[in-house]
Amino acid sequence: MPVLISLPDPAARAHAARIGDRLGIEVTVPEIRQFPDGELYVRFDRDTMPDEVAIVGNLVHDTFLRVAFLAGTARDLGATRVGLIAPYLSYMRQDAKFHPGEGVTATYFGRLVSGVVDWMVTVDPHLHRYDSLKSVYSIPTTVVRSASSIASWVGAEIKQPVLVGPDAESVQWVSAVAEHCGAPYVILEKTRRGDRDVSVSSPSYPWNGHTPIIIDDIVSTGRTMLEATKQLRAAGSAPPMCIAIHAVFADALTEELVAAGASSIVTCNTIEHASNRICIREPLVDAVRSLLS
Amino acid sequence: MPVLISLPDPAARAHAARIGDRLGIEVTVPEIRQFPDGELYVRFDRDTMPDEVAIVGNLVHDTFLRVAFLAGTARDLGATRVGLIAPYLSYMRQDAKFHPGEGVTATYFGRLVSGVVDWMVTVDPHLHRYDSLKSVYSIPTTVVRSASSIASWVGAEIKQPVLVGPDAESVQWVSAVAEHCGAPYVILEKTRRGDRDVSVSSPSYPWNGHTPIIIDDIVSTGRTMLEATKQLRAAGSAPPMCIAIHAVFADALTEELVAAGASSIVTCNTIEHASNRICIREPLVDAVRSLLS
């Protein structure tokens, strides 16, 4: 019987508990602490592991070493196949060399993770210049789509939606949601001048009577959402609702978006945030079921 | 002509500058910054790299990803062999499973580093249960010894030294320094009950007229140095001088040691700290010369 290994943060534990409950498999939460000098210590509350285990949690910031150490420990305790269930997959945005001398961290990170676990499941990775995770991950990967979860939420909450993609990259998310809920959609054009400096073209806006739903995969600084909101309002739209799959929030955002004329922001629960409203656990469970059975 | 890649911290830059100066090779300091969400960005101020490069800096705390990304970028820019010059080698202390379910992070970390660079130079790694770095690193490694640098410093500063090892693990460092400076030495016995809770046996102390020099490879919390100081003073010694190779300081230490009866604490400059007095750059240069020539 496989075992799920949850990272100790509340979001990972909630995902692991749901998956474990649905699939009827045990969840174990390892002890992870730091020695006085900052080095990590990991320990499981058991001395053996079954052949199949999967680590649940996001590889954000400095989590990579934790996952590498948990995978190593699980193998020492008997696991022969270690998977990773990472609802949000980090390091997918630096996917090309934009300036001379730059590192393409997406490929280096993919190589590191592929050296540590045997398979990976993630929700809607930021695939922009790469067609597929195969370009950066040498292990088998499964991509869970949030589109049906988002479409269900939109269908239940919004009467006459028009979906809006803030830039060309967003068309994949917006069109998928549109297909699920049968709503029209429009894609804006974006110019990025820096991490926090973007502008979005003014669209023609023939959607009076509709509620615009801006959809993007990632909100980080929120500049893209903010510019799209401003342009829609300038074009005469009703207050847009903003939906992002991954709440990679770096700055406080909701107040600014509302001040710019949005009604609110809603995200999927791939990264824990106060704006989480759309649950992606059921499609995640389905993907894990087929990998752990 | 090889290139040295320095991590951006002042200690790494000082080591790289000296090595580059002595070997007549260029030092480049990459830009490393964080995106708003915490992900790392790396960039070199050049668009090509020679076949041979070496990264200079310690893999402490969260530095592993930085080194992995710099190595990846250097390879993308043309490097075919990437070395690592890490004066202090972290993750060498969890070198066995002391309790059921524990991870042996020394081996996992060694595997990660061995997957990222092609060779490594370090100063006196904490080899305790492993005989050699070959047990944990699959790449060629060179160990630089600090004993002659420490012995020179002791010879110049202390008139009639007796070297003291605070525990059985320290005999390798103490005996090597003793051999270089022709001083007598004694090894104490230590009992460790926790990260910050250790006691050291009371030695017989027939060294009146000598200045005791307590030598250990790592001071972290300083408990071991503190207990050894107390026991020596209780046994009637003159105020001991404390020498550590690696200043992995987690707690403020000097005041406490002096309060316990030590004269002061002195460290090698493998990790930057106010107590650095003993320079290990010349043996480091010699080791790197033979690897990069």
Query: Which residue of chain A has the CA closest to B76?
Result: A103
Is residue B28 one of the residues assigned to a domain? yes
**Which domain covers residue A246, as residue numbers?**
147-269
Is residue A275 one of the residues assigned to a domain? no
Is residue B251 one of the residues assigned to a domain? yes
Q: What is the mean pLDDT of residues A195-211?
A: 72
> What tokens appear for B246 in the block?
């690696």
Separation CA A233–CA B106 (nearest Å): 57
pLDDT score for B47: 94
- Determine the angle formed by the axes of helices A63-76 and B63-76, rounding to 10 degrees: 100
Is residue B27 one of the residues assigned to a domain? yes
Please name every residue paired with B119 in a beta bridge, in sequence order, or none if there are none: B83
pLDDT score for B250: 61
pLDDT band at A61 (very low <50, low <70, confident <90, very high): confident
Separation CA A265–CA B203 (nearest Å): 69
Residue A6 pLDDT > 90: yes
Interchain contact B209–A (C-beta under 8 A): no
DSSP state string for B193-244 = EETTEEEEPPPP---TTPEEEEEEEEESS-HHHHHHHHHHHHTTPPPPEEEE
Please name every residue paired with B124 in a beta bridge, in sequence order, or none if there are none: none
Separation CA A290–CA B17 (nearest Å): 54
From residue A105, alpha-carbon distances to A62, A219, B68 in Å are 14, 20, 9
B224 shares a domain with B110: no
B203 shares a domain with B97: no
B135 shares a domain with B67: yes
Residues of chain B with pLDDT under 70: 190-204, 250-251, 293
Separation CA A265–CA B247 (nearest Å): 48
Interchain contact B28–A (C-beta under 8 A): no
Residue A261 pLDDT > 60: yes
Q: Is A199 exposed, middle or buried (0-12, 13-18, 19+ CB in 10 A)?
A: middle
pLDDT in tens, A152-178: 999 999 999 999 999 988 999 999 999
Nearest CA to CA, how far is A65 from chain B (Å)? 8
Say which of B69, B70, B107 has its CB closest to residue A72. B107
A176 shares a domain with A88: no
B185 shares a domain with B250: yes
Q: Using the beta-carbon criterion (under 8 Å), do B77 and A101 form an inter-chain contact? A: yes
pLDDT in tens, A83-116: 999 999 999 989 889 999 999 999 999 999 999 9
CA dihedral B155, B156, B162, B167 (to 10 degrees): -90
pLDDT in tens, A216-236: 999 888 889 999 999 999 888
Residue B102 half-sphere exposure, CB side, CA atoms within 13 Å?
Answer: 14
Comparing CA positions, the residue from A87, A126, A19, A122 lying closest to residue A268 is: A87
Q: Using the beta-carbon criterion (under 8 Å), do B43 and A101 form an inter-chain contact? A: yes
B161 shares a domain with B83: no
Q: Give me the CATH number covering residue B104.
A: 3.40.50.2020
Is residue B274 one of the residues assigned to a domain? no
Phi, psi of A118 (to 5 degrees): -100, -20
In chain B, the number of structural domains is 2
Phi, psi of B285 (to 5 degrees): -60, -45
Phi, psi of A124 (to 5 degrees): 35, 75
How high is the mean pLDDT of chain A? Answer: 92
- pTM exceeds 0.90: yes
pLDDT score for A144: 97
Segment 145-184 of chain A within 8 Å of chain B by CB: none
Q: Using the beta-carbon criterion (under 8 Å), do A36 and B250 form an inter-chain contact? A: yes
pLDDT band at A200 (very low <50, low <70, confident <90, very high): low
A152 shares a domain with A142: no
Is residue B252 one of the residues assigned to a domain? yes
Interchain contact A96–B (C-beta under 8 A): no
Q: Using the beta-carbon criterion (under 8 Å), do B101 and A250 form an inter-chain contact? A: no
A91 shares a domain with A193: no
Comparing CA positions, the residue from B74, B20, B17 lying closest to residue B43 is: B74
Say which of A100, A101, A103 has its CB closest to residue B72. A103
Task: Report which DSSP code applies to A102.
Answer: B
Q: Using the beta-carbon criterion (under 8 Å), do A37 and B115 form an inter-chain contact? A: no
> What tokens appear for A41 in the block?
């210590």
Three-state DSSP class for residue A201: coil
Is residue A205 one of the residues assigned to a domain? yes
A226 shares a domain with A173: yes
Interchain contact B39–A (C-beta under 8 A): yes
Nearest CA to CA, how far is B3 from chain A (Å)? 14
Interchain contact A68–B (C-beta under 8 A): yes
Within 10 A of A250 (CB to CB), how many other CB atoms are there? Answer: 16
B185 shares a domain with B258: yes
Name the strand (E) or helix (H) holding A248: none
Q: Give chain A's end-to-end CA distance (angstroms, integer).
A: 9
B228 shares a domain with B164: yes
A178 shares a domain with A73: no
Interchain contact A103–B (C-beta under 8 A): yes
Say which of B42, B94, B109 has its CB closest to residue A103. B42
pLDDT in tens, B218-231: 988 888 999 999 99
